[in-house]
Amino acid sequence: MKHRTFFWFIFPSALAMILFIALPVVSVFIQSLHVEHEQVLRTVENCGPFGCEEETIVDREATRELREAQPLGRFAGFSNYTDRNHLATEEIRSMWERSDSFADFTRRAMTLPFWRAMAFTLTFTFVVTPLVLILGLAIALGVNSLPRIFRGPTIFVSLLPMIVTPLIGSLVLYWMVDSRGVLGSFLQTIANDPELSLRASPTLTWIMLIVYGVWSSAPFAFIVFYAGLQTVPEEPLEAAMIDGANRWQRVRYVVIPHLMPLAIFITLMQLMDNFRVFEPIVGFQAQASATSLSYNIFNYLRGDAAQFGAAATTSMLTIFGVVVLLTPVLIRTWRDFNRKRH
């Protein structure tokens, strides 16, 4: 295809991506270098019967004008990145010096909004992803050994948690585990503790969010693995049986190697999707115990006093995280591509 033709074919799509993905990233970067204007202060002299005193008041008119003239705020360089709400370099250093143990340091660092969100986002990503792979494979193997007529309905039911809107999915679960919901009261009975509430405990909230993550993503792994199982070659399996391999050994040495490329694909997709975990925190109203990077950005932007600078800084750090996460994949694809060319 000629360069010219290619250009016109790709043009609408590329234009949309440049205007609404690439340029916003630039805009986010510029915003991250600015902070909101401080309120304009003015000293006025109040003279009363007992003499004059000076008073500092907020000049609302001037503040409003300044904010309208320069909506970006004032230039702050990289100070947004190092402030308490983001990397918090100062605070981390002093916490490190003052803490007497690592556990103590972690506990203190968890009061910093960015690191708190980072801790949950990474835990969520790296706990949910392997669990999804394992559960998905287990279900796929189970369904594959079912009689054929049951397979369709099973897939139908399995698709629901994955396809449903994340906010809706998390609400549906949340209403059940709520202390007044069916599972919530069931757990209270088991634990014999009428005060037990999943929301009150940070650990249980994290577990609940992870359970949601696995519940909503396992079908994806299941479907992909199930499709892969349909293409497992017969000969190696039969050869393995003749050699006396039991079922587990056949799965371990024939089926799993065959599914390896699929597992890598699922891992890639899951890392990308889990890293942006956001809706479940809104749905479970879990912000008191768990926040993610995406949730922090949402929180900065919400309300009348939106902090664009802070939101933009968190966004830049999140994008940086995504790039770090993707680097191994990109390098691998680059090598594959070069190998194919030469």
Partner 1 sequence: MAATQRRSPLLVTVSTGLVLLWIVVASFPFLWTLWGSFKVQADFFSLADWRNALRGTFTIAQTGSNFTGQGYHGAWVQEEFWRTTLNTFIVVFSVVVISLTFGTLGGYALARSGFRYTFWLLMIALVFRAMPHITLVSGYLLPFFQWNVWGHLPTAIIVLVAINQPFTLWMLHSFFLNIPKDLDESAMVDGCTRFQAFRHVIVPVMWPGVITTGLFSFLLAYNDFAVTAMLLSQQNQTMIPKIASFLGSTQVEGNVMFAVAAVVSATAPLFVLILFFQRQIVSGLTAGAVKG
Q: Where in 20-59 is the site for partner 1 (CB under 8 A)?
A: 20-21, 23-28, 31
Contact flag: residue 325 with partner 1 (CB under 8 A) = yes
For the chain, what is the radius of gyration of the CA atoms? 27
Which pairing describes strands 74-75 and 34-35: parallel, antiparallel, or unpaired?
antiparallel
Of 80-99, binders to partner 1 (CB under 8 A) are: none
62 is a contact residue toward partner 1 (CB under 8 A) = no
Q: Which two tokens stand for residue 325?
A: 């996460």
Q: How many residues bind partner 1 (CB under 8 A)?
A: 110
- Token pair listed for 184: 């919530």
Closest of 303, 295, 151, 306 to residue 223, by C-alpha: 151
Query: Is residue 176 involved in binding partner 1 (CB under 8 A)?
Result: yes
> Whole-angstrom Cα distance, residue 233 to residue 273?
31
- Does residue 130 touch partner 1 according to CB under 8 A? no
> Does the protein bind partner 1 through residue 152 (CB under 8 A)?
yes
DSSP β-bridge partners for residue 51 = 48
Return the structure tokens found at 232: 């497992």
Cβ 223 to partner 1 shortest distance, Å = 5
Residue from 152, 158, 125, 153 nearest 139 by CA: 158
Shortest reach from residue 282's CB to partner 1, in Å? 6
**Type of residue found at 42:** R
282 binds partner 1 (CB under 8 A): yes
- Reduced to 3 states, what is the DSSP secondary structure of residue 52? strand
C-alpha span between 85 and 315 (Å, rounded): 13
Chain residues 183-202 in contact with partner 1, contact rule CB under 8 A: 185-186
Nearest-approach distance from CB 110 to partner 1, in angstroms: 22
Neighbours of 209 (CB within 10 A): 26
Among 39, 122, 202, 215, binds partner 1 (CB under 8 A): 215
Within residues 220-279, the interface with partner 1 by CB under 8 A covers 220, 223-224, 227-229, 232, 234, 237-238, 241, 247, 250, 261-262, 265-266, 269, 272, 275-276, 278-279
For Cα atoms 237, 239, 241, give the angle at the middle one, nearest 5 degrees: 70
Least Å distance, CB 62 to partner 1, is 21
Which residues neighbour 36 within 8 Å (Cβ) at sequence distance 6 or greater?
A: 67, 73, 307, 308, 309
Of the residues 43, 156, 305, 342, which one makes contact with partner 1 according to CB under 8 A: 156
Cβ-contact 141, 251 below 8 angstroms: yes
Of the candidates 11, 66, 24, which has an alpha carbon nearest to the alpha carbon of residue 41? Answer: 66
Nearer of residues 51 and 233 to partner 1, judged by Cβ: 233
> What gap in Å lies between CA 166 and CA 282, rounded to an integer?
10
Angle between the N-to-C axes of helices 308-341 and 113-144, in degrees from 0 to 180, rounded to the nearest 10: 40
**Residue number with CB closer to partner 1 (79 or 246):** 246
Nearer to partner 1, 86 or 95 (CB): 86
Given candidates 58, 323, 332, 335, which one binds partner 1 under the rule CB under 8 A? 323
What is the smallest separation between the CB atom of 103 and partner 1, expressed in angstroms?
30
| Stretch of residues binding partner 1 (CB under 8 A), selected from 54-62, 101-109, 198-206, 297-305 | 297-305
Q: Which stretch binds partner 1 (CB under 8 A): 5-13, 57-65, 112-120, 197-205?
A: 5-13
Contacting residue, 66, 159, 196, 204, with partner 1 by CB under 8 A: 159
Q: Does 293 bind partner 1 (CB under 8 A)?
A: yes
Binding of residue 132 to partner 1 (CB under 8 A): no
CB of 290 to partner 1, least distance (A): 16
